Structures are given as structure tokens and as C-alpha cells.
Structure 1
Amino acid sequence: MSVIYVFAGAMHFIKPKVYVKIIPKFLPKRRTLNLIAGTFEIIAGIGLLIGETRSYSAILIILMLIVFLLVHFNMLRGKNYSLGVPRWILILRIPLQLALIWWAYLYI
């Protein structure tokens, strides 16, 4: 799990345009939000490796995943928001997100 979040967080810095595009337009400072999300993902991923911070990192991941549901539901609003991702994939991401939340919960 740690590798997934460190990698995903790093991608926010390597390919920021991809992430900024999917952040809902009604949120302010989307570029900044992208960098904040990436930073927290990296911190949480590393924190999972340290016994003293594992539970806190898992809670942070759960909170992030709940917030990220906003992005997933926003992309389901229609063609202008989906960035060309097929609807069935967007729908499948919802239960995947819930599974990731459950997986993080196991680390608490």
C-alpha cells in the first residue's frame, strides 16, 4: 500500500496537468490542491512504513480517499467532465475507492 501512495503522490508532481484536469472547476486553486494532495499521499505512504505513524497515515489515507470521491462523482456528471474516460470505468472506480478505504482501515 505504501508504494501505491508514494507513487501516486509523486505523479501529482510529475504529471500535474492530468490531475489538475480532473479536479472540479468549482474548487479554488486547483494546481495548489493537486500539489497538496500529492504531498499528503507521499507523506501517508511513507508513514505506513513506520509503526508509530501507521495508524495516523491510514486515517489520512481514508480521509483523502473520501475527499477524492468528489473527483470521481464529478467525472460522472457528463462528457465535459469525464475527460474521455468510459463511463463504465468511472462507475467501477467508486467500489474500488471503497475497497481502498477498507484496505487502509486495516492499518488502523
Structure 2
Amino acid sequence: MLKRVYGAFILFAGVMHFLKERNFRYIVPKFLPFRKAIVLVSGVAEIIIGGMLVLNKGTKLAGKLLGWLMIAVWPANMYMAYKEIPLGKIKLSPAVLWGRVAFQIPLIKWAFNISKNAELKN
């Protein structure tokens, strides 16, 4: 059940990559090329992975992919915190921004545990 909630959150985030693409582009470090493409590709990945978790299909693969995706986007959250970039029009305190960075650790662990638990059930 909780993996489906996590999946729904990831699916929603993926859709938001398209609806609010510019907001997501701001948190991609400026030294990276093709920032818009990075946002859109990560959005597609989140939609697919989130959908897999919500539908409870390919959970072992989805958990692994989500764990690696969360690691891949972690630098964007660090960049957002370091530069104190607002979340859309909402200015967050540095404590909240850095809290998001720290919260990524249990989210990564949870993603890999989803995969591990799916493996144990098979």
C-alpha cells in the first residue's frame, strides 16, 4: 500500500515536470547542458516508475530505477538548497531546503527496499 502512495507521489512529480517545467529547470545546476531536456527526461522516468508502483507492475525493477533516479536528481536538490531557489513562487527557508536534501536519504533507501521486498516475494 505505501509503495503505491510513493508511486503516486512520484507519478504526480513527473507530471509536474511538464506542467511546471521552468520551475524544475531552475533547480538543475547551470553548468549542466540541456537543462530542459534533463527535466523532461526525468519527468518521463518519474511517470513510468510511478505508474509501475501505483499499478504494482514490475515492482522489483521500479524500486531499483527509482532508487537510482533519486540519486541522480539529488544534486538538483542540493543546488536548490545552496542557491536558496524558491519552490515555484514559494520561498522556503534554508532549513526546509536542506531538510529536503536530507530527506532524500530515506526516500532512496525506501525505493531500494521496495525492490528488495518484491524480490523476496518472488
TM-score normalised by L of structure 1: 0.88
Q: CA RMSD in A?
A: 1.3
Q: Secondary structure at the match of 1:106?
A: helix
Once the two structures are superposed, residues 40-83 of structure 1 have per-residue CA deviations (whole angstroms, 9 ceiling, x without a partner) of 000001112234x1111111111111111111222333xxx222
In the other structure, the counterpart of 2:89 is none
Of 12, 17, 20, 1:15 maps to 20
Match of 1:27 in 2: 32
- In the aligned structure 1, how far is the partner of 2:56 from the partner of 2:62? 9
Matched, 1:99 2:101: no
Aligned-pair CA distance for 1:17: 0.8
Q: 1:50 aligns with which of 53, 56, 60?
A: 56
Unmatched 5+ stretches in structure 2: 1-5, 87-91, 116-122
Runs of 4+ aligned structure 1 residues displaced above 2 Å come to none
Q: Give the corresponding residue for 1:82.
A: 84
Partner of residue 61, structure 1:
66
Q: Secondary structure at the match of 2:100?
A: helix
Does structure 1 residue 3 correspond to structure 2 residue 5?
A: no
In 2, the alpha carbon distance for the partners of 1:5 and 1:76 equals 20
Distance 1:46 1:76 in 2: 28
Match for 1:82: what amino acid?
E
The TM-score normalised by the length of structure 2 is 0.79
How many residue pairs get aligned? The number is 104
For 2:17 and 2:71, locate their aligned partners in 1 and report how far apart those are by CA, in whole Å: 18
Q: Structure 1 stretches of 5 or more lacking a match?
A: none
